[in-house]
Amino acid sequence: MRKIAVQINGRVVEGEVEPRLLLGDFIRDNAGLTGTHFGCEHGVCGACTVQLDGEPVRSCLMFAVQAHGRRIATVEGMAPSATELHPLQQAFHESHALQCGFCTPGILMTMEAFLRAEPDPSPERIRAALAGNLCRCTGYQNIVTGVRLAADRMK
Amino acid sequence: MELHGIGASPLRKEDWPLLRGEGTFIADFKRPGMVHALVVRSPFAHARFRHIDGSAALQARGVIDLITAAELPDRGRPIPTRMFKDEAANRFLQKPLADGEVRYSGEPVALLIAESRYLAEDAAELLSIDYEPLEVVLDPDAGTVAGHLVVERGNIEAAFAQADEVIKEEFRIQRHAATPLETRGLVAEFDAGAQTLTVWGAAKIPHVNRRILAQLLGWEESRIRLVELHVGGGFGARGEFYPEDFLIPFGAMRVGRPVAWIEDREESLRAMNHSREQVHRVELALKADGTFLGLKDTFVNNTGAYVRTHGMTVPGLSISMLPGPYAWPAYRGEYHSVLTNKTPCGTYRSPGRFEVNFVRERLIDIAANRLGIDKVEIRRRNFIHEFPHDTGTLFDEHPVVYDSGDYSLLLDKALEAFDYSGLKRWRAQRSPDGFKRGLGIAFFVEKAGPAEREYARVELTDSGDVTVYTGTVSLGQGMETTLAQVCSTHLGLPFERVTVKHGDTAVIPEGMGSFGSRAAMMGGAAVMGAAVKLRRRLLERAAEELEAAPDDLVLTVDGIAVRGAPSRSVPLPSMSVEDRFVCELLGFPYGIHVAAVEVDTGTGAVGVHRYAVAYDIGRAINPVIVRGQIAGGFAQGLGGVLLEEFAFDANGQPLAASFMDYLLPTSEEVPDIDMLITEDAPSPHNPLGVKGAGEGGTAAVGGAIANAVADALGVEVTQLPLSPKRITELASA
């Protein structure tokens, strides 16, 4: 067992964990933040994407011990308050960019980092950046629209 | 039209928690003292075993229990079929655990319960099972017949005798499946004092599954409660009664603690219902002018190792829906549904229709090519014009009678909206990249409903809040929003004040669930019925108190007042009304898919230049949600045409047991599509006129893309998927 401390959404979460514990399990079970979902546990679907020091990573492909002393952001930290949404969340809501919503947290974490790097992307660039996140419900069309709408508003 | 009423597209009620990471999917749900189950699965496609040695596993850290067939009542009772029952097939039902023989790779053999999933997986390594591999059957033509049906109407021999041309072809559709992004999962808790069970994680058909679980346990249904949480997609496969739906509650009873089971992706791809695998040998008889005379099809449906809850649904829907939108003087269909050593099958979005629309629409293009007739014209010439139209086939026990339609009208509208003549010009031009261009269309009829009855209750509080209780459930499709729109419109109170509750058998007395595009049609009609009744009662009661005619009253959240005299008012009472909508008949929406593709004969890649779907669904309650259903359905269809395949090696080992090998389409493969939603043919069978919109986006992708690829390459495409390997083979043929 290893003692670790990880800053998640600004709060330090400590735990004594087995070295094999996945980062995603630490976030979900130790920190109690279940908005990060496991869709495949082998790094393909992207549903478990969180941000590590601002960069998107798959929390099923990292061990919790590797995040010791680092800064993690999850979907729960996006909205500014209980009564408001982040502009990207709001744009997804208005664009019907989610159906079942299972993949949505991973997509939001991927796209939030993408828009910081590329604030004014073309639909083609959005599609390329989105290609590491699987969505089985929407056919992606409305997600691309939602990301573009958010980009317009966040300028 | 009101801002949030029927026909408007208010933003979804479902979105807020899902966007904020505050949803409760089954893996997010925890109970005090909860332990974790692992399903031990067969590594062989067919093997005998005599003994499961669990002694070492039971000694392992954190292990609580090991359950094999020997521990089950009657060593495990077979899971019954719920639809398209076939007595003869009951010999082949699956039991919760294999008992001495496994028949597919992934079949449950034992259940291990431990303090955590990690510890359960450790312990599973210590199990010793003396498998002796047996001969494996994978070829559907060599499978044991579980179900057989012949449907015949008109004089098929005479039709073929008159034919100027007969087109004969064999078509194959590969095995693929629903694959929702959230895997299955359950949490079960047994209350020993009350002798009751609660099971969280239900989906699709909670009330039906409660009945099946009660039957398998030998209990009264009232002792069992099933609860639906957030559901990460269904598409037919999720929510059927699987072995785990018995094993997890049973495990919770054995260990006396809540038991959770969360399927991982690898087991999901081997264990959840597969679908689609069929071989059709089909013949089309027609006159030289393109008039259809007869259609004959003999097909094999590979249902895998056991007959699951869907019984003969997929071959049954295939045989009944093959005729499609055309008037056939004679039709003969015959199926054999066969058992092989592969994962058992069930439905996947547009079950049976995705398959037969590919077969029929491809066959018609081959005929058009042979006769030199335009591909649009040969379809138009053979459309059904009179409605209702009795096809002479059955959906389970319900006659397949197309309720309403105007196929030519939709065709005209689609060709114009999608600029078909412009696409033809594009097709005729040379691609600057040297790709081969092709244009394909496919026409189809879908089905919606029935599962004959649905329940709704609408409750009003004196503060003006409205709660709708429905027997349908949410799979992510947006039914909370659409049913709230229906309620708001017919009750006359604001959409914002309506909350929709569903999926808890303790709160909702009955329900048939959500499948087969039935929720809007059946659930919507029941909600409408309850809302209309509630409004009438409110107004009649207020009319008496206010000594005014009900028609002169205005209903708002503040109360009921006389029109033009707001001081003459009464406050809202608390009132609850329930209703049941009963309908034995189906709705038959219909549509057209148009595909323009570019084929790279070097790499075998199929690029979709343009894709369009026209769909008449009778009435769209929420057009934005309808379009979302079509775009999402199309993406699944495209995956089935180009990418997704459950391949097996000669020993029956699955070759696609991860998302590295089972390829779901990504944002780079799925293009934006054009959509035309029309409301020209409302269903006469329900008061809303809706026909259900969930499956038409998927239904004809096989037909349209295969027709476009055939057009591009100038060869006849007869097999799916159109993988790069198949494309390069076709291109060099």
| Domain layout of chain B by residue ranges | 31-135+183-231+238-271, 346-449+586-732, 451-582
Amino acid identity for residue B70 in this structure = A
Comparing CB atoms, the residue among A33, A37, A136 nearest residue B664 is: A136
Q: Kindly state whether A84 is in contact with chain B, defined as any CB-CB distance less than 8 angstroms.
A: no
Residues of chain A in contact with residue B627, where contact means CB-CB under 8 angstroms, are 96
User: CA of B672, closest CA in chain A: separation in Å?
Assistant: 5
How is B430-496 classified by DSSP, letter by letter?
PPTT-PEEEEEEEEEE--B--SSEEEEEEEE-TTS-EEEEESS--SSS-HHHHHHHHHHHHHTS-GG
For residue B2, what pLDDT is reported? 61
User: CA of B609, closest CA in chain A: separation in Å?
Assistant: 14
Residues of chain B in contact with residue A33, where contact means CB-CB under 8 angstroms, are 21
User: CA of B626, closest CA in chain A: separation in Å?
Assistant: 11
> CATH fold of B451-582, please?
Aldehyde Oxidoreductase; domain 4 (3.30.365)
Are B632 and A139 a contacting pair at CB < 8 A?
yes
Residues of chain B in contact with residue A144, where contact means CB-CB under 8 angstroms, are 667, 672
Backbone angles phi, psi at A3, to 5 degrees: -90, 130
Are B19 and A76 a contacting pair at CB < 8 A?
no
3-state secondary structure of B122: helix
> Which positions 96-155 of A are in contact with B (Cβ < 8 Å)?
96, 98-105, 108, 126-128, 130-144
State how far the Cα of B715 lies from the Cα of B143, in Å rounded to an integer.
Answer: 31
Are A131 and B666 a contacting pair at CB < 8 A?
yes
A–B interface: beta-carbon pairs under 8 A = 169
Residues of chain A in contact with residue B203, where contact means CB-CB under 8 angstroms, are none
Comparing CB atoms, the residue among A45, A98, A132 nearest residue B18 is: A98
Angle at B725 between CA B724 and CA B731, to 5 degrees: 85
Whole-complex ipTM: 0.99
Q: Are B225 and B504 within 8 A, CB to CB?
A: yes
For residue B501, what pLDDT is reported? 98
Are B265 and A40 a contacting pair at CB < 8 A?
yes
Test mutation, A1, A30, A92, A102, chain B, max B CBs within 10 A: A102
Residues of chain A in contact with residue B475, where contact means CB-CB under 8 angstroms, are 100
- Closest Cα in chain A to B662: A44
Test mutation, B15, B176, B184, B269, chain A, max A CBs within 10 A: B15
Are A35 and B633 a contacting pair at CB < 8 A?
no
Residues of chain B in contact with residue A41, where contact means CB-CB under 8 angstroms, are 264-265
- Closest Cα in chain A to B235: A137
Residues of chain A in contact with residue B14, where contact means CB-CB under 8 angstroms, are 101
Comparing CB atoms, the residue among A89, A100, A105 nearest residue B233 is: A100
Residues of chain B in contact with residue A76, where contact means CB-CB under 8 angstroms, are 20-22
B346-449+586-732: CATH architecture: 2-Layer Sandwich (3.30)
User: CA of B23, closest CA in chain A: separation in Å?
Assistant: 7
The domains located in chain A, with CATH, are 2-77 (3.10.20.30), 87-154 (1.10.150.120)
- Tens digits of per-residue pLDDT, B393-412? 988 888 899 999 999 999 99
Which of B184, B203, B83 has the alpha carbon at shortest distance from B473?
A: B203
For residue B86, what pLDDT is reported? 86
User: CA of B70, closest CA in chain A: separation in Å?
Assistant: 32
State how far the Cα of B526 lies from the Cα of B455, in Å rounded to an integer.
Answer: 6
Backbone angles phi, psi at B195, to 5 degrees: 55, 50
pLDDT over 80 at B3, yes or no: no
The secondary structure element, H or E, covering residue B379 is helix B375-381
- Closest Cα in chain B to A44: B659
- Tens digits of per-residue pLDDT, B24-64? 999 999 999 999 999 999 999 999 999 999 999 999 999 99
The secondary structure element, H or E, covering residue B702 is helix B701-713
Residues of chain B in contact with residue A44, where contact means CB-CB under 8 angstroms, are 658-660
State how far the Cα of B202 lies from the Cα of B234, in Å rounded to an integer.
Answer: 11
Determine how many CB atoms are found less than 10 A away from the CB of residue B157.
12
What is chain B's mean pLDDT, rounded? 97
Which of B409, B419, B480, B454 has the alpha carbon at shortest distance from B622?
A: B480
Q: Kindly state whether A40 is in contact with chain B, defined as any CB-CB distance less than 8 angstroms.
A: yes
Going by DSSP bridges, is the β-strand pair B196-200/B224-227 parallel, antiparallel, or unpaired?
A: parallel
Are B18 and A131 a contacting pair at CB < 8 A?
no
Which of B60, B122, B112, B68 has the alpha carbon at shortest distance from B260?
A: B112
- What six digits make up the tokens of B642? 């180009």
- Tens digits of per-residue pLDDT, A117-150? 999 999 999 999 999 999 999 999 999 999 999 9
State how far the Cα of B75 lies from the Cα of B73, in Å rounded to an integer.
Answer: 5
pLDDT over 60 at A28, yes or no: yes
Test mutation, A18, A93, A108, A141, chain B, max B CBs within 10 A: A141
User: CA of A69, closest CA in chain B: separation in Å?
Assistant: 24
Comparing CB atoms, the residue among B20, B633, B697 nearest residue A89 is: B20
Comparing CB atoms, the residue among B24, B25, B628 nearest residue A99 is: B628
Are A37 and B232 a contacting pair at CB < 8 A?
yes
For residue B695, what pLDDT is reported? 98
For residue B1, what pLDDT is reported? 44
Residue that the structure tokens 């909670």 belong to: B206
Comparing CB atoms, the residue among B21, B631, B666 nearest residue A134 is: B666
- Tens digits of per-residue pLDDT, B262-295? 999 999 999 999 999 999 999 999 999 999 999 9
User: CA of B512, closest CA in chain A: separation in Å?
Assistant: 20
For residue B182, what pLDDT is reported? 98
Residues of chain B in contact with residue A136, where contact means CB-CB under 8 angstroms, are 179-181, 233, 235, 632, 635-636, 664
Laid out side by side, the sheet with B553-556 consists of: B553-556, B559-562, B565-570
Comparing CB atoms, the residue among B20, B633, B636 nearest residue A75 is: B20
What integer is the mean pLDDT of B483-488? Answer: 98
**Same topology for domains B31-135+183-231+238-271 and B346-449+586-732, yes or no?**
no
User: CA of B518, closest CA in chain A: separation in Å?
Assistant: 17
Report which DSSP code applies to A29: I
- Closest Cα in chain B to A78: B20
What homologous superfamily does CATH list for B31-135+183-231+238-271? Aldehyde oxidase/xanthine dehydrogenase, a/b hammerhead (3.90.1170.50)
- Closest Cα in chain A to B11: A94
User: CA of A136, closest CA in chain B: separation in Å?
Assistant: 6
Backbone angles phi, psi at B27, to 5 degrees: -70, -10
Q: Kindly state whether A38 is in contact with chain B, defined as any CB-CB distance less than 8 angstroms.
A: yes
